[in-house]
A and B are shown apart, each in its own frame.
Chain A
Amino acid sequence: MCLTVSNNLKYYRPGKSRYAYLLVWCLAISIVWLFISFSLMNLVITNNVAYLNFLINTLVVRFGTGVLITGCIAMLSWMWYNLQEQQDYEHRRAEALKLARDAELYKLRQQFNPHFIFNSLNSISALSGSAPEKARYMIQQLSDFLRGSIKKEEDVFITLEEELLHLNLYLEIEKVRFGHRLNSIINVHEDTKDCLIPALILQPLVENAIKFGLYGTTNKVEILIKANIENSVLSIQITNPYEEDSSSNIKGTGFGLSATKRRLFLLYGSAAALESVKEENKFMTSLKLPSNK
């Protein structure tokens, strides 16, 4: 009997205004219990009239006790399950908060990659002695790049051309740092330039390409960015050289790709796709989006 009450409350807890439901439920269960026990006693004890009379006389008292017991159990389990639900909720809320904070932090780091910024500043410091003109040029590039990163909000769409201009600033700075061995080729079809894409969606992908291609090796590096439209799907490819050996040196690239995937999913659902392929000494990331203009 108690189990029935408790189980019932596990799956259905009436609102605050419906305590009457709980009362009726307890009363009903007590009546059923009283009826069953009375019938059982009648079956077992058939020839003791005095005891049967006693049973009938104490009907009210026993009914009262039944209601009290079920009532107590009902209250206890009601409180218990409420508490559990509360804890579950708190737990979920904490997790959601943590996720949001992680994403926020990641976004900040993405915009202001400290390694990139301090190394760029160090390059400027070096150039200001020997080649002040170049130092000034680099300050300009770095400022434009930082301004572009701050200005753009996550949900804003910009044309591919604008995105590529921003990426170019970044690549130009890296070329000053690693000029002797970085080369970038941007090869996009004319008709893709006014396609709308989420702002800064390519940035983490190109950063990945630089990380693997440039920071990972000491050879000459060529980063290739291609874009074309086919059957109203805009397809963008970023290719960089890749050395199997050095891959384990570089950490923290997984989140970049998965965060980009997540962002694409939130914006486009299943209409967008991000894939990366490793082949021989090349690493290719390919992004497919609806070609909205």
Chain B
Amino acid sequence: MKKIILIDDEPLARLILKEYLSTYPMLEIVAECNDGFEGIKAIVENKPDLIFLDIQMPKISGFEMLELLEQAPAVIFTTAFDEYALKAFDENAIDYLLKPFSKERFDKALKKWLESSAVNNEGFEHLINSVNQLQDKQRVVVKNGTKIRIIPVHEIMFFEAYDDFVKVHTAEGIFLKNKTMTYFEKTLSPLQFTRVHRSFIIKQDEIIKIEPFEKESHVAILRNGARIPISKSGYAKLKESLGI
């Protein structure tokens, strides 16, 4: 028996998946979820073999949900229309069903999964990265224990490298995200954020002063008083984005 979870905010969209799945007796639907929060909970509890995941959902998107999982199960995406994401799917050879889809198309997707069956975490990472690169990031979703926080980018002051994590500094406090600095450098709008140092990405609006520091390097003083080191190449980048 393989375990399946359906995550879609429309009951009828789940209904058709259930109907199509009823022809596969060896597959069992262990949970149905209305949004990404429920989805995370159900995935952690049930450890499914495969999930069907809608992309546009309330609260957090399907991609953001995947980002929050430590170990992602196999995923078949279901989406009605997502101009940004479709290209990324093709590029990363991950299967998706365009709503409305036929039973034949559904069978093809399931066959593909049953035959490969290996979870392709790396593929998802590529997929999420390429989706994120198509649009400038508007917010960062972090997990704090069991709580999920959605941080709009305008609330973020700077990012700091921290071992395998990145510290997201906001006025409210510091949040940890299991991503790399390069990921943030690539997905944040360069009009707002600059990587000024190997370990720091700062928001340009937060800078109140830039002072020389030792030879060849500088330090940025932020609105909240934080002092951020700026490397030589970071200084050149910062000068360019600030137009000085």
Residues of A participating in the B interface, judged by any CB pair closer than 8 Å: 114-115, 118-119, 121-127, 129-130, 176-180, 215-218, 245-246, 248-249, 251
Contacts and interface: CB of A to CB of B under 8 A. Distances in A.
B16 interface: yes
Nearest to B152: A248
B58 interface: yes
A125 B152 contact: no
Contacts of B101: 122
A248 B156 CA distance: 14
A215 B56 contact: yes
B81 interface: yes
B35 interface: yes
Given A118-B99, A125-B100, A130 B10 contact: no
Given A118-B100, A124-B100, A129 B19 contact: yes
B81 A115 contact: yes
Given A115-B81, A218-B59, A245 B150 contact: yes
Contacts of A127: 12
B99 A122 contact: yes
7 closest residue pairs by CB, A with B? A126-B16, A118-B80, A122-B99, A125-B100, A122-B100, A126-B12, A123-B12
Given A114-B81, A177-B10, A217 B100 contact: no
Given A119-B99, A177-B10, A130 B15 contact: yes
A245 B100 CA distance: 30
Contacts of A251: 138
B58 A249 contact: yes
Contacts of B56: 115, 215
Given A122-B16, A249-B61, A251-B138, A218 B100 contact: no
A251 B80 CA distance: 17
B58 A217 contact: yes
A118 B81 contact: yes
13 contacts: A115-B80, A118-B99, A121-B100, A122-B16, A125-B16, A127-B12, A130-B15, A130-B19, A177-B12, A215-B58, A217-B58, A248-B139, A249-B139
Contacts of B12: 122-123, 126-127, 176-177
A242 to B, nearest CB: 12
Contact of A114 (B34, B80, B100): B80
B9 interface: yes
Contacts of B152: 248
A292 to B, nearest CB: 38
Q: Which of A176, A180, A245 has the most CB of B within 10 A?
A: A245
Contacts of A126: 12-13, 15-16, 19
Interface in B91-123: 98-101
A218 B34 contact: yes
B16 A129 contact: yes
B11 interface: yes
Given A122-B99, A126-B15, A245-B59, 4 more contacts: A129-B19, A177-B12, A216-B59, A248-B138
B35 A123 contact: no
A215 B80 CA distance: 14
A246 B150 CA distance: 8
B60 interface: yes
Given A119-B80, A125-B100, A251-B138, A246 B58 contact: yes
